[in-house]
Amino acid sequence: MTSITNDLPPPPRGLLRRLAGWLHRRPSVRLGGLLAGPVGWLVIVYLGSLAIMLLNAFWTRDAFSGQTIYVPTLKNFEDLINGPYPGITLRTVALAAAVTVTCGLLALPIGYFMARIASPRLRNALVVAVIVPLWASYLIKVYSWRLILAEEGILNWALAPLGLKGPGFGDVAVWLVFTYIWLPYMILPVYAGFERIPESLLEASSDLGGRSWTTFRRILLPLVFPAMVAGSIFTFSLTLGDYIAPATVSTTIFIGNSIFANFGAGNFPLAAALSLVPLVIVLIYLLIARRLGAFNAL
Amino acid sequence: MAGIDLEVMDGEFFSMLGPSGSGKTTTLRMIAGFELPTAGRILLHGEDVSHRPPFERDVNTVFQDYALFPHMTVGQNVGYGLMIRKVPRQELDLRVGEALDMVRLSGYEQRKPSQLSGGQRQRVALARALVNRPRVLLLDEPLGALDLKLREEMQIELKAIQQEVGITFIYVTHDQEEALTMSDRLAVFNQGRLEQIGAPADVYERPITRFVAGFVGISNLLTGDAARSIIGQEGTFTVRPEKIHLAAPDAPVGEDEITASGRIREVVYVGPDTRYIVLLDAGSELVVTQQNLATSSTDVLAARGNAVRLVWKRQHVLPIKDGSRTEES
């Protein structure tokens, strides 16, 4: 046997090596260097702009001159409570809830099929099919729906022989478009959730006397539910703040449209106050989602 | 899977032993109903259940990974089968309590599986299956994930529980020692075929195929020239390593004894005993196990390279069917 010895020359002691050694002995400096950029971005740019928005909500606009008056006041919040806004808020939350529930109901069978029935080849193809629409421009997708739902659009044309008519533009159209656009965000976590459930759990349920429906209701559904809540964070919050889709296929005003309208009219303080509404709703939603275990499912 | 013909007695502890891929788990899964046989039948107390789904078979399974429902408490896990059968609440609680008592986990009803150790999860899985009082309990390498010490404890406990409840246990394992210590009878599988069925002592003392001799214990085969010159017969023979004695090269040999000379090639010290690998002059190798009754590790390790004489009783030589499988399986 030959003995194994290290006959390589020692590594040269250059400046970079010395620096690496110095950093190796100071973990806090290393961590600081690593996080300085992202934390700086998060605090200054992200949280900073949120703070400015919050601050803006306490100014008002002089109705006559259109100038912002920098005197703190709660007038914007009074407008939020008294104006048309409670109704708009309620309508928006109802829409977001409807979109979320629809996405959940659609994602459940699709995710189940992808995770547990499809062959690996088909599964990959389906994952791609779900992801690819996310790469397409949001505007293109919304305008495509405008074409589909138009009076002389493809939907009415296809339904005509059956004596039926599409929903046309309006609230149903908004619900359809949102469901279509955000569906991938629900399918992906639900699919991953189903994939995480070991086959043996289903066998065990069956072994203990559970028929397919019982196994679905008692084992599969509760185990995939946190994943559905995780998906709903996207479908719900994205619907809540969007204004382009409603403006394209409907004339109904949602919170996003109100913010956009006020912003366009130069009433930044009221727009800022309005922006806080979806923010607060989403925060409450996230707290509930955390209780339901959604963050463990992401 | 080739043709398998198995009959398990009521109340028996029956093991299916074999290497991975030998068909033992597939057989178990077919009994459970997770896989359907392409041919042949499965009878449970005379009733053909071959094509019934798992939920219509009076058997329950203890899974290798335990398969406890993570979103349910221990109590809900154990009570799952009873809940599906719509057993009244009071009786359900009572029976779940009894089942947890039996596996020594009383008072654990409210815990989640994630809060339990591996050994405790194993017991919950056992309780969850036993609480339904099935005709047959199927166990798929239930102790495989436990460490050695716990595994040995659970072997004794499982056997005791089986005797207490009197339910037929069909136990799949690749651990020959486990199968030998726990079973009333065992079946040795290889490549989808049944090699031998019998009581543990039968299978160990009288292996009928080369595969069984090698898988259940150390094979110690004598073939060809070695068989001819040592045994005096054509064929393949086996002798268990603990039946062979190491003696001095010039030791006297009795009338009913067989002897072979050789040299110790390797010494493996394993604590209570020592394994000697002896290269025979006749051109084969035998493993000899000797208890370290009066010898220390230094003594036994010094024996490497020594010339020795191996001696064993004629009755301990067993003829082996050549080839790896039996005709009648």
Dist. CA A26–CA B113, nearest whole Å: 41
Q: Give the residue from B241, B187, B193 showing the smallest Cα distance to B217.
A: B241
Residue B309 Cα, gap to closest chain A Cα (Å) = 33
Asked if the Cβ–Cβ distance from B67 to A218 is below 8 Å, we say: no
Dist. CA B123–CA B17, nearest whole Å: 22
Of A200, A218, A222, which is closest to B67 when you measure between CB atoms? A200
Nearest CA in chain A to B67: A201
Return the pLDDT at B328.
Answer: 37
Among B61, B68, B114, B121, the strongest candidate for a mutation testing the A interface, having the largest count of A CBs within 10 A, is B61
Of B65, B71, B84, which is closest to A209 when you measure between CB atoms? B84
Dist. CA B92–CA B75, nearest whole Å: 10
Of B34, B70, B84, which is closest to A210 when you measure between CB atoms? B84
- Residues A76, A58: contact at Cβ < 8 Å? yes
Residue B69 Cα, gap to closest chain A Cα (Å) = 7
Dist. CA B224–CA A125, nearest whole Å: 59
Residue A185 Cα, gap to closest chain B Cα (Å) = 24
Looking at beta carbons, which residues of chain A come within 8 Å of B69?
201, 204-205, 218-219
Tokens of A40: 């700086």
Of B53, B64, B132, which is closest to A206 when you measure between CB atoms? B53
Return the pLDDT at A296.
Answer: 75
Strands, sheet with B221-222, edge to edge from the N-terminal-most edge strand: B221-222, B236-238, B318-320
**CA pseudo-torsion sign B237, B242, B248, B252:** negative
How does DSSP assign A230-278, residue by residue? HHHHHHHHHHHH--HHHHHH-----HHHHHHHHHHTT-HHHHHHHHHHH
Q: Does B69 touch chain A (CB under 8 A)?
A: yes
CA dihedral B300, B302, B304, B309 (to 10 degrees): -60
Nearest CA in chain B to A206: B55
- Tell me the sheet residues that pair with B238: B221, B318
Bridge-based pairing of strands B257-269 and B307-313 is antiparallel
Q: What is the Cβ-side half-sphere exposure of residue B22, based on CA atoms within 13 angstroms? A: 21
Among A197, A206, A208, the strongest candidate for a mutation testing the B interface, having the largest count of B CBs within 10 A, is A208
Q: What percent of chain B has pLDDT over 70?
A: 97
Looking at beta carbons, which residues of chain A come within 8 Å of B68?
204
Mean pLDDT of the residues in chain A = 91
Dist. CA B24–CA B183, nearest whole Å: 15
- Residues B249, B308: contact at Cβ < 8 Å? yes
Nearest CA in chain A to B79: A208
Looking at beta carbons, which residues of chain B come within 8 Å of A219?
69
Asked if the Cβ–Cβ distance from A208 to B128 is below 8 Å, we say: yes
Q: Does B32 touch chain A (CB under 8 A)?
A: yes
Return the pLDDT at A83.
Answer: 83
Quick one: DSSP state of residue A190?
Answer: H
Asked if the Cβ–Cβ distance from A207 to B54 is below 8 Å, we say: yes
Q: Give the Cα-Cα-Cα angle A282, A288, A294 (nearest 5 degrees).
A: 95
Residue B269 Cα, gap to closest chain A Cα (Å) = 25
Contacts for B108 with CB less than 8 Å, ≥ 6 apart: B74, B75, B100, B116, B120, B124
Dist. CA A12–CA A25, nearest whole Å: 19
Return the pLDDT at A176.
Answer: 96
Return the pLDDT at B323.
Answer: 54
Q: Tell me if residue B36 falls in helix, strand or coil.
A: coil
Q: Give the residue from B252, B15, B33 showing the smallest Cα distance to B140.
A: B15
- Residues A113, A129: contact at Cβ < 8 Å? no
Q: Does A219 touch chain B (CB under 8 A)?
A: yes
Dist. CA A70–CA A269, nearest whole Å: 10
- Residue B327: pLDDT band with limits 50, 70, 90: very low
Of A205, A206, A208, which is closest to B132 when you measure between CB atoms? A208
Return the pLDDT at B325.
Answer: 43
Residue A204 Cα, gap to closest chain B Cα (Å) = 6
Read off the pLDDT of residues B168-193 as tens digits, 9 standing for 90 and up.
999 999 998 899 989 999 999 998 88
Nearest CA in chain B to A212: B55
Read off the pLDDT of residues B14-67 as tens digits, 9 standing for 90 and up.
999 999 888 899 999 999 999 988 888 889 888 888 889 999 999 999 999 999
Asked if the Cβ–Cβ distance from A207 to B65 is below 8 Å, we say: no
Asked if the Cβ–Cβ distance from A214 to B84 is below 8 Å, we say: yes
Nearest CA in chain B to A202: B67
**pLDDT surpasses 50 at B2:** yes
Asked if the Cβ–Cβ distance from B63 to A219 is below 8 Å, we say: no
- What are the pLDDT tens digits along chain A (298 aa)? 566 777 788 777 788 888 888 889 998 988 998 899 899 888 888 899 999 989 988 988 887 787 888 888 888 888 888 889 999 999 999 999 999 999 999 999 999 999 999 999 999 999 999 999 999 999 999 999 999 999 888 998 999 889 888 888 999 999 999 999 999 999 999 999 999 999 999 999 999 999 999 999 999 999 999 999 999 999 999 999 899 999 999 999 999 999 999 988 888 899 999 999 999 999 999 999 998 887 776 6
Tokens of B319: 């003829």
Asked if the Cβ–Cβ distance from B80 to A205 is below 8 Å, we say: yes
DSSP H helical ranges for B103-147? 118-130
Nearest CA in chain B to A204: B67
Of A198, A201, A209, which is closest to B55 when you measure between CB atoms? A209
Looking at beta carbons, which residues of chain A come within 8 Å of B77?
none
Strands, sheet with B257-269, edge to edge from the N-terminal-most edge strand: B245-247, B307-313, B257-269, B273-280, B285-291
Q: Does A235 touch chain B (CB under 8 A)?
A: no
Of B32, B67, B81, which is closest to A198 when you measure between CB atoms? B67
Provide the strand spans (E) within B248-317.
Answer: 257-269, 273-280, 285-291, 307-313
- Residues A189, A226: contact at Cβ < 8 Å? no
Return the pLDDT at A73.
Answer: 86
Asked if the Cβ–Cβ distance from A204 to B63 is below 8 Å, we say: yes
Chain A, residues 183-202, CB within 8 A of chain B, namely: 198, 200-201
Dist. CA B129–CA B79, nearest whole Å: 10
Q: Does B36 touch chain A (CB under 8 A)?
A: no
Average pLDDT for residues B252-263, to the nearest whole number?
A: 86
Chain B, residues 291-310, CB within 8 A of chain A, namely: none
Of A204, A209, A214, which is closest to B67 when you measure between CB atoms? A204
Tokens of B160: 């005791």
Asked if the Cβ–Cβ distance from A198 to B65 is below 8 Å, we say: yes
Nearest CA in chain B to A224: B71
